Amino acid sequence: MLILIAAIAILYYFTSESEERSIKNRWRTNEHFLNSGISWKNKYALNLIGELKPYEQKWYHFGIKPAYEERFPYSTTIFVFLTDGEHLFQFIRGLLVLGVITLLNPLYGLVWFVSTKAASFFKETLTNWQ
């Protein structure tokens, strides 16, 4: 088990470095996904001339109001990891931490998962409540 935890720690380090590269625009191969200079727009819908569309109320927001219209449902909240490199690597790091905690004690893993999701929900609800 110790070797597995060490391997997960190495993967955690690589995802942290990859997130940093994504944030600092060191990846120039795919301008629309990994380049954080513009990739934050991937979570929002664009009009025909490439400008961000203003927010329109959706039935599934339950009081949360994103800054602009979402590109697809929940692209600014629970599915934000699908929109850019920074959020993808943060998601992978969270899974790696969950994996280590679950290996040590499955009940602690469950508690960590539920508590982080609850904290995320409250953060989004309190900061975006209208």
Residue-level pLDDT at 36 = 44
Give the pLDDT confidence of 28-67 residue by residue, as tens digits. Answer: 544 444 444 566 677 888 888 878 888 877 777 776 777 7
Residue-level pLDDT at 127 = 65
pTM of the model: 0.72
- Written as one string, the DSSP assignment of 46-99 is B-TTSPBPBP---TTSTTB--SB-BSSTTTTTTTGGGT-HHHHHHHHHHHHHHH
Least confident of 6-10, 37-41, 58-62, 85-89: 37-41
